[in-house]
A = this chain, B = another copy of it.
Amino acid sequence: MNELTEELLDSESVFEGRIIHLRVDTVRTPDGKVTTREVVEHRGAVAIVPLLDEHTVVLIRQFRQPAGRVLIEIPAGMLEPGESPDECARRELIEETGYAAGRMEKLFESYLAPGYSSELLHVYAARDLVPVGNSLDEDEFLEVFTLPLAEAPTAIRNGDVCDAKTLCGLLLVLNEAGRKERNDT
């Protein structure tokens, strides 16, 4: 697939923020032409599908300034410098929901917006949840609630759940539950 790869010629940093950095890369495309790519640098994140039992998921409501509205999401957060995705998943689950996970299983990794963002998201399923009390970051405000997993597809179709990582996490857990059920019968 080498004929698809672009050659990096130059890279210019244009913004360094708290959450994201922005750079503009100059690249040579496979036909030899030169163009630019705008790249949001993000150090990666985790998201967790917390399962109270095999039929019930813990979700959060959170105001998102870029969307201008409150969204329903699975708990998630950015990697701290030096932190592994596994460590981050355990920390964020406690901070945002107040549950510690007895079992944490990695489900998949996914780029969220690879057209312009380097963010790679690591997604986990958390089981055997034990309430330990939450501890939000200073500028975080959210509500925790539960949803029957079986209601997730309808909530996605009617727009109540409209966050990509949440769709991915809920649909993958549902897909695996369905496969397990078919194998068991």
Q: A interface, by DSSP: helix, strand, loop or mixed?
A: mixed
For residues 92 through 146 of chain A, which have their beta carbon under 8 Å from a beta carbon of chain B? 107-121, 138-139, 141-143
Give Cα A139–Cα B25 distance, bound, in whole angstroms. 14
As for how many copies of this chain the complex holds, the number is 2
Give Cα A157–Cα B4 distance, bound, in whole angstroms. 24
Whether the Cβ atoms of A162 and B109 lie closer than 8 Å is: yes
**Closest Cβ–Cβ distance, residue A79 to chain B (whole Å):** 13
A66's contact among B19, B30, B61, B116, by CB below 8 Å, is which?
B116
Whether the Cβ atoms of A70 and B19 lie closer than 8 Å is: no
- The reply on A156 being an interface residue by CB < 8 A is yes
Give Cα A107–Cα B178 distance, bound, in whole angstroms. 21
